Amino acid sequence: MVQAINRAMYEAMRADPNVLVLGEDVGVNGGVFRATEGLQKEFGAERVIDTPLSETGIVGTAVGMALYGLKPVAEIQFVDFIYPAFDQIVSEIAKFRYRSGGQYPCHVVLRSPYGGGIKGGLYHSQSPEAYFAHTAGLKVVIPSTPADAKGLLLSAIFDEDPVLFLEPKRIYRSATGEVPDGDHRVPIGRAATVRPGTEVSVFAYGAMIPPAVQAAETLAGEGISAEVVDLRSLVPLDEAAVLASVEKTGRAVIVHEAPRFCGFGAELSAILAEKALYSLRAPVVRVTGYDTPFPYALENLYLPGTDRIVHAVRATARAA
């Protein structure tokens, strides 16, 4: 996945001289996860910019670039560090297009690794997607495969709206697969059914897709047919795909590693309650992280794993 992300930026920068990359250590070192490796050598220090250790400065600079017609791709080294720039993101970037009547779209992509699974502890493992999904004017995208990572990032870079592009660092190098060459784009706002099923719909995204698929395969051996849907885009959400899946299966399990209370799963549950109530044969179930700061020693207990997903799907499938 990390190579696919790198390739997406390379393709975009080669195609459009207005695309720039900026962030901490993105140039000479190629980023802490090497997502920008080789880009400064290829495109120069004026287009791949090593910034000071200041998230406020990175985002503020990206805003200025975007308002003058550039297409900045700003990296926040870990999403846990994005909060100093929170006001600029939700009060400025998300609102420029609206407040200007479409004259200033503020075309910014904010890339950032998110989530647990690498023994990062409290300050390198957070999943704050719900904060940003709540903000009108922002798009929030999370890939789970290399092909989607490249395709969605290219779509984000050339989108007219600002996009928060969250990268599940847990599967940066474990998620592998074929990636199309060239200008391969995946439309933002479309979910993907990664494993068809008939009895329970499992909705997930990012690093939760592999354990969800593994759980579905385990349950198939018990005669339970689980459909796994990768949301890919939280905002805009492919609501039609979500509803169609539940109308078929009659049951829903939602998986994310962010805390449960007011997590993105709560919005999905509300949508299903409002628009698919008569299709549901059992209550909607959420398998999530816990409402605590992210732990270090108990990381694997905190993160939803295959066993927790299997238990939730099995119980939902057996519910009246």
Catalytic residue status for 134: no
Contact criterion met (CB below 8 Å) for 163 and 138: yes
Got the DSSP string for 202-270? EEE-GGGHHHHHHHHHHHHTTT--EEEEE--EEETT-HHHHHHHHHHHS-EEEEEEEESTT-HHHHHHH
Q: What are phi and psi of 312, to 5 degrees?
A: -65, -45
DSSP string, 101-128: TTS-----EEEEEE-SSSS--TTS----
What is the distance between the alpha carbons of residues 183 and 181, in angstroms, rounded to a whole number? 7
Encoding tokens for residue 297?
């020693």
The structure tokens listed for 209 are 């897709």
Catalytic residue among 107, 124, 256, 311: 124
Q: Supply the residues annotated as catalytic.
A: 124
